[in-house]
Amino acid sequence: MIADGPNGVCMKLRLDYPGFCLNVNLNLPGRGVTALFGHSGSGKTTVLRCVAGLERAPGGFLAINGQVWQDDANAIFLPTYRRPLGYVFQEASLFPHLTARKNLEYAQKRVPFKSRKVSFDQAIGLLGIEHLLDRRPASLSGGERQRVAIARALLTSPDLLLLDEPLAALDLKRKREILPYLERLHDELDIPILYVSHSPDEVARLADHLVLLANGSVVAEGPLHETLARLDLPAAFADDAGVVLDTVIGAHEDHDSLTRLDFDGGSIYVARRPEGAGRRLRCRVHARDVSLTLERAEHTSILNILAAKVVGAAATESPAHVLVRLQVNGTPLLARITRRSSNNLGIAPGLPVWAQIKAVALLD
């Protein structure tokens, strides 16, 4: 393996299929979760398969934190089995002839002792699968299978973790069951994770970095908060437009059963949270839940009113609405208001406004 490539996840991939052309050129952070987001057919799974070497983009280049995995200009192409990656497929991919334990051992024993970074106990502890080890995949639920599959991917001690819509085949209940484990991965692993998804909720909850794909090309890319707050995003998020706030629990106000969440530039109140002060919580504010006033409303039931400044506005899919980008000190916010209100208020860049937040979705 050649270890003088660029840092982070660097890829230049071009692949032509009849009726579809993938053309991506990305430099992604070397740690944290990067979400590849797009509709089905946007090429996100193909990107993942190219990174894994399951598909080969001719003339491509791919380097992971300095290690070159593909550089066709120099005739380098590592086959999949020589790439230190973990891959979790969309649907159950456990070997049906092996128990959960043997599936895990299959991965672990193929990694040389000295390059093992994740221990067996660590992997099963992280995913909470101790009690499933002696069962066959056929007797596990969809969520349990995916947890075993994720643990198995970890046991390869990967330098890069690839997750291809690991929750897509699961119902809402199973998703809820498995999401906390994915968050733990994010918090405890010091490797880059590429997460393919078409669910804005999953992206908002897990990602640090966002890549939006459409028809095989990158339409937007950048840190999650920044990218979500962009006005020029395609209809990808449409009704789901909104921003993500990374907050810290500031204080509990028990007489009103409220919890104050602080973020860079302000704070908001939500219903009392069970977590202690100081815990990090990520929440999502949908643009449709934010309204604007020119003066601070005194007699209102709305609890969260933030002083903000208009940065810009853009048309939305619906001709009746506009999307307004605001800045709350350092933090971007989006509001979706009617065109008529926008005209009445004289919304223009630089205008100071009050943003009234009707609802905050907590992502934990």
Partner 1 sequence: MDPGDLTALRLTLELATIVTGLLLLIGTPIAWWLTRTTSKLKGIVGTVVALPLVLPPTVLGFYMLLAMGPQGPIGRLTQSLGLGLLPFTFSGLVVTSVIYSMPFVVQPLQNTFTAIGERPLEVAATLRAGPWDTFFSVVVPLARPGFITAAILGFAHTVGEFGVVLMIGGNIPGKTRVISVQIYDHVEAMEYAQAHWLAGAMVLFAFIVLFALYSLQQNTRET
Binding site for partner 1 (CB under 8 A): 52-54, 79-82, 85-87, 89, 93, 95-97, 106-107, 110-111, 138, 152-153, 156
Q: How far is the CB of 70 from partner 1 (least distance, A)?
A: 15
Distance from C-alpha of 149 to C-alpha of 189, rounded to nearest angstrom: 16
Nearer CB in complex with partner 1: 193/363: 193
Helix/strand/coil for 187: helix
Rounded least distance, CB 161 to partner 1, Å: 11
Which residue, 53 or 216, has its beta carbon nearer to partner 1?
Answer: 53
| 85 vs 292, beta carbon nearer partner 1 | 85
β-strand partners of 263: 266
Q: How far is the CB of 110 from partner 1 (least distance, A)?
A: 4
Report the alpha-carbon angle 133-134-139, nearest 5: 95
Complex with partner 1: residue 153 or 333, whichever CB lies closer: 153
Indicate the residue among 85 and 333 with the shorter CB distance to partner 1: 85
The smaller minimum CB distance to partner 1, of residues 32 and 53, is found at 53
To partner 1, the closest distance from the beta carbon of 54 in angstroms equals 5
Best CA proximity match to 357, nearest among 299, 286, 294, 298: 286
Minimum distance from residue 107 beta carbon to partner 1 (Å): 5
Nearest in space to 348 (alpha carbons), one of 305, 296, 285, 294 = 294
Q: Is 53 helix (H, G, I), strand (E, B) or coil?
A: coil
Query: Looking at 166-241, which runs of residues are DSSP E strands?
Result: 192-197, 209-214, 217-223
Kindly tell me the number of DSSP H helices and DSSP E strands found in the chain. Answer: 8, 21
Q: How far apart are alpha carbons 72 and 347 in whole angstroms? A: 52
Kindly state the smallest distance separating residue 97's Cβ from partner 1, in Å: 5
Nearer to partner 1, 101 or 252 (CB): 101
> In the bound complex, what is the minimum distance in angstroms from residue 193's beta carbon to partner 1?
15
Where does residue 311 fall: left (phi above 0), alpha (psi -120 to 50 degrees), or beta otherwise?
Answer: alpha
Question: CB 51: neighbour CB atoms within 10 A?
Answer: 25
Whole-Å CA distances, 144 to 150, 178, 333: 10, 8, 37
Q: How far is the CB of 150 from partner 1 (least distance, A)?
A: 12
Residue burial 281-307, b: 16+ Cβ < 10 Å; e: rest: bbbbbbbbbbbbeeeeeeeeeeebbbe
